[in-house]
Structure 1
Amino acid sequence: MDIKAVQNSYARWAPVYDKTFGAITNDGRRRTVEYINSNSGHVLEVGVGTGLSLGHYQPGMKVTGIDFSDQMLEKARNRVQEMGLRQMIELRQMDARELDFPDASFDTVAAMHVLSVVPEPERVMSEIARVCKPGGRVVITNHFKRTRGPLAALERVSAPFANVLGWHSDFAIERVLGEPSLTVEEQRPLPPLGMMTFLMLRKTGG
């Protein structure tokens, strides 16, 4: 999926995202942020989208959210203003393949439902690892392809339509596990129906 396809897809999705895919993934998103809240520090949320996660962060957390889509960010900014979160949330337009932050800037980096959307996810993971502090956490929530069963067949059929759907239905988990400085410490299924997977990776050092 190229960056222009991503831009066009999410321009289409932005008006209805919260009531469609966003609604389906809300429970997993809430559980993921609750996990992030268990530690203090500065959080980077890569692919913040319309900001559905932002109201779940506990007071006192400092959160920077980035997204490539201006349409998504506009909705996120409106949400931040309506919920009175301006003191804790900073939102910036950015390409996740080239994060405009110094090395080791964040205690936690979150990527929820974004890695199967972006071009060059391996490059995005490299940038995520770079800006995460040694000893810090990388928290990922994403759909990964199945190897058997009826859903696996459906994923294979949907795969050629990635540019239209806005995500890769056959996205392999190995594509986010190749960064040598990140080690998997936790992996578990998330609702709905275990379709999503929660991963927590620790950056070595520190």
Structure 2
Amino acid sequence: MAVIRNSAEHQQKVYERWAPVYDRVYRGLLRDGHRTVARLAAEVGRDILEVGVGTGLVLPYYPKHCRVTGIDLSEHMIAKAREKVARAGLAHVQSLHVMDAHNLEFADRSFDAVCLPFVITLIPDPERALDECARVLHSGGEIIVASKLGDGRGLQGAIEEAVAPLVHRVGWSSSFRIARIVEWAKRRGDFEVAEIRRVFPNGFFKVIRLKHRMAA
């Protein structure tokens, strides 16, 4: 089995290289996932944090009544996102920050929903990042994850493992398992998997809703 480890340095280098062309490559491919994430987040509440905002491809899809904060590890990606916000007049975007998902610089219980669109497989310590997302989430809120999430079974699982080194070069992972997120929720005990939704193309990408259980 291929073992591919991400690092902050690796991701910064990858996205510095990809920032100028990222929109052209991924806008159409990820559109359904992006729209789904934005819609589900807005249904939860008004105050939304997007982790891994990248060049801001999801930002136009949030309803205008939302208040969206975005973070990304890459200064080059954030620069592109700020250009997009200014050019399109996206007034619902409150602020964009260069920040590490492992150490969110926000107060506890600051957001109704936290979105991670196509970034969870790239984070060196996903569980630690999810813990941070949980910390800044209001009671009863949701963490919404979109990604290429495999199940590790059969032919698809074998293909995911085989191509893992290749996609790592472009900043992606093909071998991240849904079970890893499910296990995180089980270990914590205060989150439940509310939904796993298949999106374009043909369910290759998935959106998973993690709902916080409100204290009795």
State the TM-score bracket (shorter-chain normalisation): over 0.9
Q: Which is further off, 46-55 or 143-152? A: 143-152
User: Segments of 4+ in structure 1 off by > 6 A?
Assistant: none
C-alpha distance after superposition, 1:101-125 (max 9, x if no partner): 1111111111110000111111111
- Matched residues in 2 for 1:204 and 1:183: separation? 7
- Matched residues in 2 for 1:90 and 1:43: separation? 11
After superposition, residues 24-39 of structure 1 pair within 5 angstroms as 24-39=29-44
Q: Which is further off, 82-91 or 22-31? A: 82-91
Q: Which is further off, 167-176 or 189-198? A: 167-176
1:6, 1:163 within 8 Å by CA — same for their partners in 2? no
2:214 maps to 1:205: yes
CA positional deviation for 1:22 = 3.4
Q: Secondary structure at the match of 2:121?
A: coil
Equivalent position amino acid for 1:136 in 2: G
2:138 maps to 1:140: no
Q: 1:98 to 1:162 in 2, by over 3 A?
A: farther
2:151, 2:178 within 8 Å by CA — same for their partners in 1? no
Aligned counterpart for 2:63 among listed residues 52, 58, 61 = 58
CA positional deviation for 1:159 = 1.7
C-alpha distance after superposition, 1:73-113 (max 9, x if no partner): 11100000011114533101100000001111111111110
CA positional deviation for 1:163 = 4.2
Q: Which is further off, 83-92 or 103-112? A: 83-92
Q: Secondary structure at the match of 2:164?
A: helix
After superposition, residues 166-181 of structure 1 pair within 5 angstroms as 166-177=171-182, 178-179=184-185, 180=188, 181=190
- Matched residues in 1 for 2:152 and 2:128: separation? 25
Larger proportion of helix: 2
TM-score (norm 1): 0.93
Equivalent position amino acid for 1:38 in 2: E
Q: 1:67 to 1:112 in 2, by over 3 A?
A: same
Aligned counterpart for 1:49 among listed residues 29, 51, 54 = 54
Residue matched to 1:159:
164
Between the aligned residues of both structures, percent identity stands at 37
2:108, 2:137 within 8 Å by CA — same for their partners in 1? yes
- Matched residues in 1 for 2:168 and 2:44: separation? 36
Q: Which is further off, 26-35 or 149-158? A: 149-158
TM-score (norm 2): 0.89
1:143, 1:196 within 8 Å by CA — same for their partners in 2? yes
What is the Cα-based RMSD across aligned positions, in Å?
1.6
Count of aligned pairs = 206
Q: 1:87 to 1:173 in 2, by over 3 A?
A: closer
- Matched residues in 1 for 2:79 and 2:203: separation? 31
- Tell me, which stretches of 5 or more residues in structure 1 are unaligned? none
Equivalent position amino acid for 1:201 in 2: L
Equivalent position amino acid for 1:194 in 2: G
